[in-house]
Amino acid sequence: MTEQFKLYCFAQSGNAYKAALFLSLAELDWDPVFVDFFNGETRSEEFKKINVMGEVPVLVDQDKNISQSGAILHYLSLKTELFTTNNSDLKLEISRWLLWDNYKLTPNLATGRFMSLFLPEAKRNQSVIDFLLGRASASLKILNNHLVDREFVVGDNVSIADLSIAGYIFFTEEFDFDMSPFPNVISWRNRISKLRNWQHPYDLMPGHPIKR
């Protein structure tokens, strides 16, 4: 039997994980399609036919082909009515935190991690890494303050805002990134990791460890 959804992804992509985590927590039928990022697949002409932006994740739902983790999360929550709310004010809050993640947290945390972990030493620029991880820390401080009296980012339940923000926060122990100033973020991450059907990105998506 063919699964309903296909997700182009690879284990080290926190952006793909945002979508994979939704699919897993919601117990949807899906198959991962491995994209060999570390050997250049997202830069190939063939992959650009799947996504002109040259990025994972891409979700395939029958004839629909959707990229950008935030668009996928909105699409899946609209389709399944999961990890969202009927309250229009809270819906706006979810959208606001999801955009905040895409603008302020993930670009800095993901790129700082990538340059720290996956770039050959000769190509690493420490001042760029320090800049990016400094901005990621400033963003995590905002999140940490926000979570002081909250179980989840918006309202009382886990939403696509949590799934988006959490994407790269499951990787922070892999490299030299200090999470100790953000205890509320750590508690929140623990809450997410205890949800039924939660799995770590390396277990949920193919491609770990990296083969070059």
Going by C-alpha positions, the residue among 91, 177, 170, 103 that lies closest to residue 137 is 177
Taking CB under 8 A as the rule, does residue 77 contact a second copy? no
* Residue 92 or 195 having the CB closest to a second copy: 92
Residue 46 C-beta: closest distance to a second copy, Å: 16
Task: Tell me whether residue 117 or residue 198 sits nearer to a second copy (CB atom).
Answer: 117
User: In the complex, what is the shortest distance from the CB of residue 158 to a second copy, in angstroms, rounded to a whole number?
Assistant: 19
Helix axes 106-117, 14-25, angle to 10 degrees: 120
Asked if 73 and 164 count as a contact pair (C-beta separation under 8 A), the reply is yes
For residue 65, the tally of other CB atoms under 10 A from its CB is: 14
Question: Distance between terminal CA atoms of the chain?
Answer: 32
Q: Looking at beta carbons only, is 80 or 199 nearer to a second copy? A: 80
Minimum separation from the CB atom of position 97 to a second copy (A): 8
Is 81 a binding residue for a second copy by CB under 8 A? The answer is no
The residue assigned the tokens 């002109």 is: 52
159 is an interface residue for a second copy by CB under 8 A: no
Q: How many CB atoms lie within 10 A of CB 135?
A: 17
Q: Could you tell me the two tokens for 47?
A: 């992959």
* Of positions 128, 157, 174, 193, contacts a second copy by CB under 8 A: 128
Comparing CB distances to a second copy, the nearer of 152 and 198 is 152
C-beta separation of 181 from 144 below 8 A? yes
Residue 29, amino acid = D
Q: Does 145 bind a second copy (CB under 8 A)?
A: yes
Q: Which is nearer to a second copy, 48 or 197 (CB)?
A: 48
Residues in contact with a second copy, total (CB under 8 A)? 31
Please identify which residue in 52, 149, 209, 211 interacts with a second copy, judged by CB under 8 A.
Answer: 52
DSSP structural state of residue 83: S
Considering only residues 83 through 112, tell me which ones interact with a second copy, judged by CB under 8 A. Answer: 89, 92, 95-96, 99-100, 102-104, 106-108
The neighbour count for residue 95, using CB atoms within 10 Å, is: 16
Instruction: Provide φ and ψ at 202, rounded to 5°.
Output: -70, -20
Is residue 195 part of the contact set for a second copy (CB under 8 A)? no
Footprint on this chain of a second copy (rule: CB under 8 A): 52-54, 64, 66-71, 74-75, 89, 92, 95-96, 99-100, 102-104, 106-108, 125, 127-128, 131, 142, 145-146
